[in-house]
Amino acid sequence: MSDLAAFTVRSIPGSYGLPLIGNLMDRMDYFWLEGRDKFFQNRMAKYQSTVFRANVPASAPLFGGSDPRVIAIVDSAAFTTLFDISLVEKKDVLVGDYLPSLDYTGGMRVLAYLDPSEPQHSSIKSFLLDNLRRSAKTWVPDLQSSLEPLWSTLEKDVQEKGSAGVLLPLQKFLFSFLSKVLLGADPAVDPEIAKNGHFIIDKWLAPQLVPTVGTGGLIPYPLEELLLHSFPLPFAFVRGGYQKLYDFILNHAKDVLSIAINEYGLTEAQATHNLLYTLGFNAFGGFSIFLPSLISYIGKDPRLQERLRTEVRDVMNTHEGVSFNAVSEMELLSSTVYEALRINPPVAFQYGRARRDFILKSHDCSYGVQAGELLCGFQPLAMRDPKVFEAPEEFRADRFIKERGGEGLIQYVYWSNGPQTATPSVENKQCVAKDYVMATTRLILAELFMRYDSFQLDNDSSSTITFLKRRS
Ligand code: HEM
pLDDT of residue 4: 46
459 CA distance to ligand 1 middle (Å): 32
Concatenated DSSP letters of 113-154: G--TTSHHHHHHHHHHHHHHHHHGGGHHHHHHHHHHHHHHHH
Give the residue, out of 126, 431, 434, 444, with the most ligand 1 atoms within 8 A of its beta carbon, to mutate for a pocket test.
Answer: 431
Protein residue with its CA nearest to atom 27 in ligand 1: 283
466 CA distance to ligand 1 middle (Å): 32
- Say how far apart CA 338 and CA 121 lie, in whole Å: 28
Characterize the bridge pairing of strands 69-73 and 374-378.
parallel
pLDDT tens for each residue of 116-146? 999 999 999 999 999 999 999 999 999 999 9
Q: Which residue has the higher pLDDT, 213 or 401?
A: 401
Max CA separation in the chain (angstroms): 73
Q: How confident is the model at residue 8 (pLDDT cuts 50, 70, 90)?
A: low
Comparing CA positions, the residue from 238, 236, 226, 230 lying closest to residue 211 is: 230
The answer to whether the CB of 385 falls within 8 A of the CB of 114 is: no
User: How many residues make up the chain in this entry?
Assistant: 472
Mean confidence (pLDDT) of the chain: 95
Give the residue, out of 111, 173, 282, 375, with the most ligand 1 atoms within 8 A of its beta carbon, to mutate for a pocket test.
Answer: 282
pLDDT tens for each residue of 223-245? 888 888 888 889 999 999 999 99
Q: Residue ranges per domain, the chain?
A: 3-470
pLDDT over 60 at 374, yes or no = yes
Instruction: Kindly list the protein residues whose Cβ atom lies closer than 6 A to any atom of ligand 1.
Output: 94, 111-112, 125, 128, 132, 182, 278, 282-283, 286-287, 290, 346-347, 350, 415-417, 429, 431-433, 436-437
Q: How confident is the model at residue 60 (pLDDT cuts 50, 70, 90)?
A: low
pTM check: above 0.75 = yes
Q: For domain 3-470, give the CATH superfamily.
A: Cytochrome P450 (1.10.630.10)
- Say how far apart CA 451 and CA 454 lie, in whole Å: 9
255 CA distance to ligand 1 middle (Å): 23
| Mean pLDDT along residues 302-321 | 97
431 is an annotated ligand-binding site residue: yes
DSSP-derived letter for residue 112 is: G
